[in-house]
Amino acid sequence: MMGVARMFVKLADRDHVLNRSPFLEDEVRFNLLHLICSSPEALRIKNDSNELIFAQTPGFNPWLWIAPGLSKEREDELLRGLAEQVSSHDFPGISGDLEIAESFARYYTGSRGLKPEPYMMLEAYACPEVKPPADVSGTLERANSRHTEMIAAYLAAFSIEAFNVKPQPSEVYKAATAAIGTGGLYLWQEGGETVSIARIAHRTARHARINDVYTVPGARKKGYASAIVAALSDYCLRGGLTPMLYADVNNPDSNKVYQSIGFKSAGRIADLRFKR
């Protein structure tokens, strides 16, 4: 195997590898790499043949992409070399294709006394054409500063429900303020109440990623989540971007909502966590 230092290089700002084949074949599934790689604080690595991308925002799982169609021998060579290259870094886990993530985890955790464990499986979706739900009342409104307290409460509830994590009040207030400040956070209003929220979290050259979809418990099963996501998806498509999102495969309700309004599966991302 060639020297590890010569196999891997730093991924540059606006690196062409993210905008050319073969990455484009997997772009929806690995869309979050665009956001991670845009951060100046991120660890960003690729191999010199553009077959591998590895990027991590501090404190979060790194995401790992390997070009489809490589031989198992080449995959193994890349993963062994990558594990050696990043051996001085501490990661909470790894996210990517399940088999590739598991293989990297074996090499990376082997001498650390760590064990990779499944945490979440994400389904990646893209919506080429919106099918709005019928007979759902309400209106779409962009969130502003007067909604900050409410949004903070909704984001805290979403974190507890989706990830079993109770955030600190100061952290969730800061997150709500930042989300509103981007202009991408929207509300679905019905009868003078905010019944559902969703956010256009990030835009790339070809896609707009939607997240933070949350409906208050008393307003569920009435089509509000479908309505707000459909409205945002239509807005993105009219702006020339294909909407995409990630959903927990173990949440059948959210997957059903997205599929019903036109989202098509683009594959899965495994989220593994390293435990002692």
pLDDT digits (tens, 9 = 90+) for 237-267: 999 999 999 999 999 999 999 999 999 999 9
Specify burial of residue 169 (Cβ count, 10 A radius: 0-12, 13-18, 19+).
Answer: exposed
H-assigned helices in 18-164: 32-37, 72-85, 98-109, 148-163
- pLDDT greater than 80 at residue 1: no
CB proximity list for 90: less than 8 A, separation 6 or greater = none
**Angstrom distance (rounded) from CA 73 to CA 243:** 36
Beta-ladder partners of 272: 94, 118
- pLDDT greater than 60 at residue 114: yes
- pLDDT greater than 70 at residue 31: yes
**Stretch among 12-16, 52-56, 130-134 having the lowest mean pLDDT:** 12-16
Strands of the sheet containing 8-10, edge to edge, are 8-10, 43-47, 52-56, 63-66, 93-96, 264-275, 115-126, 242-248, 207-215, 193-203, 185-190, 139-142
Task: Write down the pTM of the prediction.
Answer: 0.93
Q: Average pLDDT for residues 26-44, to the nearest whole number?
A: 97
pLDDT for position 4: 54
pLDDT for position 162: 86
**Angstrom distance (rounded) from CA 97 to CA 103:** 10
pLDDT digits (tens, 9 = 90+) for 170-213: 999 999 999 999 999 999 999 999 999 999 999 999 999 999 99
**Angstrom distance (rounded) from CA 51 to CA 58:** 23
pLDDT for position 111: 82
- Binned at pLDDT 50, 70 and 90, residue 5 comes out as low
225 contacts 215 by C-beta, under 8 angstroms? yes
Q: Average pLDDT for residues 218-246, to the nearest whole number?
A: 97
